[in-house]
Amino acid sequence: MTVDAELSRTELADAEPTLVELLPLSDSNGWHRAACRGDPNHEAWFPYPSQDFDYARQICAGCPIRTACGEFASGTGQSGVWGGHEFDRGRLIRE
């Protein structure tokens, strides 16, 4: 039996996680208070490279957990915009 490794664009788009799925589920760090939580434009945070960085950074600017969010991204190897900064596999690439 062989497995077809190619996925259609639709299948790939359906496989992309949503913002809520990517935020940690624990409320111990106040993730439920994230300014981005529930924002319909979740693509602003997670495409690589971020194509709507200024929008994401503006939302992050007033977020009460901005610092914790950036630390989470750095410590867990995340990519995208976290805490108003852009990361690539946990490495800060744009402030």
Encode pLDDT of 7-21 as tens digits: 454 554 455 555 556
pLDDT on residue 29: 65
CA distance 46 to 87: 10
What amino acid occupies position 4?
D
> Could you tell me which residue, 61 or 41, shows the higher pLDDT?
61
Please state, rounded to an integer, the average pLDDT across all residues of the chain.
Answer: 77
How large is the average pLDDT for residues 27-51?
A: 77
| C-beta neighbour count of 62 within 10 angstroms | 9
Q: What is the pLDDT of residue 53?
A: 87
| C-alpha separations of 91 from 63, 75, 77 in Å | 21, 9, 7
Q: Where are the domains of the chain?
A: 46-95
The pLDDT value recorded for residue 4 is: 47
pTM, rounded to two decimals: 0.68
Of residues 28 and 74, the one with the higher pLDDT is 74
Return d(Cα 88, Cα 66) in angstroms, integer. Answer: 17
